[in-house]
Amino acid sequence: MKEVVGEAEVCVVGAGAMGLSAAYQLARRGTEVLVLERTYPGLESSAANAGTLGLQNKPLAAIPLVLRAVEMWRQFTDELGVDVEYEKRGGLRLAHSSEDVEQLEKGVAAQRAAGVDTEIVYQPELSRIAPYLDSRVAAGSYCPDDGMANPLASIRALLKGAVGSGVRVWNNSPVRGIEALGDDDFLVGTPRGLVRCRAVLAAAGAWNGVVARMVDVSLPLTTDILQVVTTDMAPPIFPHIVTHVRGNLTVKQSRSTGRVLI
Ligand SMILES: Cc1cc2nc3c(=O)[nH]c(=O)nc-3n(C[C@H](O)[C@H](O)[C@H](O)COP(=O)(O)OP(=O)(O)OC[C@H]3O[C@@H](n4cnc5c(N)ncnc54)[C@H](O)[C@@H]3O)c2cc1C
């Protein structure tokens, strides 16, 4: 039996964007938080993503949270003292065929009812506001609140905010087991020894299923593989965040580097 080497009110498992953000928000509200990270903060999805902060590509159930998140992103640079390069770029969600347009119209009606500021732009108006598009694109929904940020800077900002609010982060500390002693009493196993806490927050991204199994919970999680492709630096080509009604594709150009991210 290992000895107890640390205590906290909440142990957060994983120092990606989710874990650091949760730790920061808890600490701001006076909770004592210890983050346990398998390697180092932000080495997994949170640093390898495309940085799109879109409203139009989110499920309806998530919209109330996403609207709040937009307000939080607007303030992060000032609040955390690190430039996260957040920009409201305006997003265009495209439709080619008549079926696509029908799907877009339904989606926009539902999103507007949920409070998203979005409207459909048809040809020829679409070509006027987005002359870079092929004329075969029949319509697009425009949302001024679709935005983007720099994922690497965002991790630095969240880490700074969390640590500055009193959060402790243990690197090279994979959680290997969790023992529930009571409803609000847990022992968390790490290579350094055990940590005793009142709650465990699983923020291990794609590995959350592994963490849940440590307390005999089976989560119905599956993993999708996403990829980001980046071009070389280029002069400004298009300002919008472009998505398509039929899939997960996002295309945008970074203002700071000129690279197009797909
Ligand atoms: C290619 C790609 C593009 C994407 N593009 C976008 C986009 O444009 N916009 C968008 O909003 N989202 C995008 N995403 C999704 C986004 O990146 C993720 O939703 C987000 O980063 C998840 O954050 P997380 O903190 O939950 O997970 P992660 O960043 O994966 O962090 C989990 C952390 O938990 C740690 N961990 C795991 N197991 C343990 C353990 N047992 N003990 C301790 N620590 C552990 C890991 O080491 C890791 O640091 C993209 C993802 C990918 C892969």
- Per-state percent for the chain, helix, strand, coil, to nearest 5: 30, 30, 40
Using the mean position of ligand 1's atoms as its centre, give its distance from the Cα of residue 120 in Å.
32
Using the mean position of ligand 1's atoms as its centre, give its distance from the Cα of residue 42 in Å.
8
151 lines ligand 1 (CB under 6 A): no
Residue 144 pLDDT class (50, 70, 90 cuts): very high
* ipTM score assigned to the predicted complex: 0.98
Measured CA to CA, the distance from residue 149 to residue 199 in angstroms comes to: 31
- pLDDT per residue over 202-253, tens digit each? 999 999 999 999 999 999 999 888 899 999 999 999 999 999 999 888 999 9
- pLDDT per residue over 69-90, tens digit each? 999 999 999 999 999 999 999 9
Residue 262 pLDDT class (50, 70, 90 cuts): very high
Q: Where are the domains positioned within the chain?
A: 4-51+151-213, 88-147+227-261
Question: Going by DSSP bridges, is the β-strand pair 119-122/91-95 parallel, antiparallel, or unpaired?
Answer: unpaired
CATH of domain 4-51+151-213: 3.50.50.60
Mutate to test the pocket of ligand 1, among 21, 37, 49, 176 (most ligand atoms within 8 A of CB): 49
Q: What is the pLDDT of the chain when averaged over all its residues? A: 95
Using the mean position of ligand 1's atoms as its centre, give its distance from the Cα of residue 124 in Å.
40
Give domain 88-147+227-261's CATH number out of 1.10.1060.10, 3.40.50.920, 3.30.9.10, 3.40.50.620: 3.30.9.10
Which H or E run includes 184?
none
Which H or E run includes 23?
helix 17-28
